[in-house]
Amino acid sequence: PSTSFFPSPSCSRSKSYFYFLALPALFKQELQDTEAEESGTVTLRCELTKPKAPVEWRKGDVTLYPGLKYEMRQQGCAAELVIYDLEVEDS
């Protein structure tokens, strides 16, 4: 018996599989350095090449989640992180 990795035309039960590789989302506009005052609010913004691409915001190795301190917004290709009640540790 031979091993085949392709469907045989003579086999009535063969199935065809199609695999699509999605291109990764890339940065069209990266984050820019932003200055803000302590206890204020800042909005960090980036633009991606794909609309509604999944975005994970991090500070170093720590993943940020929405709550009282952080707000994440995404519309089309634009993604924003709003940081409230800024502290020196947020830099």
DSSP character for 66?
A: S
Q: Is 88 inside a domain boundary?
A: no
Question: Interior CA angle at 49 toward 69 and 28, to 5°?
Answer: 75
Give the mean pLDDT per block of 10 residues along the chain (91 residues).
Answer: 51 63 83 90 94 91 95 95 94 87
Q: Is 22 inside a domain boundary?
A: no
Query: Residue 38 belongs to a domain with what CATH number?
Result: 2.60.40.10
Q: Per the structure, how many domains does the chain have? A: 1
Q: Is 7 inside a domain boundary?
A: no
Give the per-residue pLDDT at 45: 95
Domain span at 59: 27-83
Q: Is 57 inside a domain boundary?
A: yes
**Phi, psi values for residue 90, rounded to 5°:** -80, -10
Q: Are 80 and 45 in contact (CB under 8 A)?
A: yes
Give the per-residue pLDDT at 4: 47
0.75 exceeded by pTM: no
Give the per-residue pLDDT at 5: 52
